[in-house]
Amino acid sequence: MNKSLFLCILHRLSTEVPYFQPTEDAARRSSLSPLQKCTAAIQQLAYGGGADTVDEYVRLAETTARKCLHNFTAGIINLFGDEYVRCPTPEDLERLLHIGDQRGFPGMIGSIDCTMNDLNILDRSPVFDDINGIAPQVNFYVSGTEYHLAYYLTDGIYPKWANFIQSIRLPQGEKNSLFSKTQEAVRKDVEHAFRVLQAKFAVVKNLSKLWDKDKIANIMRACIIVYNMIVEDERDSYTQYNVLEFQQGEDVDQTFSVKRLQNTAIQLVAEQKFGIMKPINN
């Protein structure tokens, strides 16, 4: 991450989390600095090594380094979780829909690649909370026909839901083959994103047998939050779209529109393919 982002995280933790605030003991000796604690935690997340690997570089004992890690992940979740792990805003949806439209999938807001555990309890997975209650109303057009349901790209193992666009198994003909090839290529984005997350935070990739489930969950969630912060911090340098297109007041010719979140029950239907998807009343 950039130095400015690291200093921002360091400042928030040192001012709002008691564990990272400087203290003195009875002999008026200063405690470990917030810089030492944050550096030790981030180094364990980035390189995935044991807590004893930072003893010489940061001058921390193994037990202290492990404590820094768990307090760091808890602090990141409490301070930044609501902002960086949330439902997409209308502005986020416009950006995602614009990218999907440019890639040939109007109305597409991403792709899904759950683990087998999430797939087995798909109806209770937190990934799909919005499907059963509060959901964004999205209008887009395909070949002059208006649709009202945003969708994800998935593979054939997922159920036949109206908000899942699956590839065509054993496609026949040039049209079906082109759709299947393009859908599978775009769907790889979610796998690439997780590989980038593993590349930045080796702790996500490496095996862990030392912590309980709650601590492992906090580490995973904290890595996602920090990764989202890095993406936002670096977005201006590699953005693939014109930011001016999403500023209010701009008259831009788009094939989609986004409305504010509202309470709606999304109907799940079995019959659906992108080329023959019928409008669904929310």
Which of 11-20, 118-127, 185-194 has the weakest average pLDDT? Answer: 118-127
Q: Please write the tens of the pLDDT for every residue from 156-172.
A: 888 888 788 888 888 88
Q: Please write the tens of the pLDDT for every residue from 90-100.
A: 788 888 888 88
Is residue 225 over pLDDT 50? Answer: yes
The CA distance from 137 to 117, in Å, is 29
DSSP states of 194-241: HHHHHHH-HHHHS---SS-HHHHHHHHHHHHHHHHHHHHHHHHHH--S
Q: Model pTM? A: 0.69
Domain boundaries, given as residue ranges, for the chain: 3-84, 90-239+260-274
Give percent of the chain with pLDDT exceeding 70: 74
How confident is residue 122, by pLDDT bands cut at 50, 70 and 90? low
- pLDDT score of 52: 80
Q: Please write the tens of the pLDDT for every residue from 53-81.
A: 887 778 888 888 899 999 999 999 999 99
The CA distance from 146 to 50, in Å, is 54
Average pLDDT of the residues of the chain: 77
Pull the structure tokens for residue 163: 């908000």
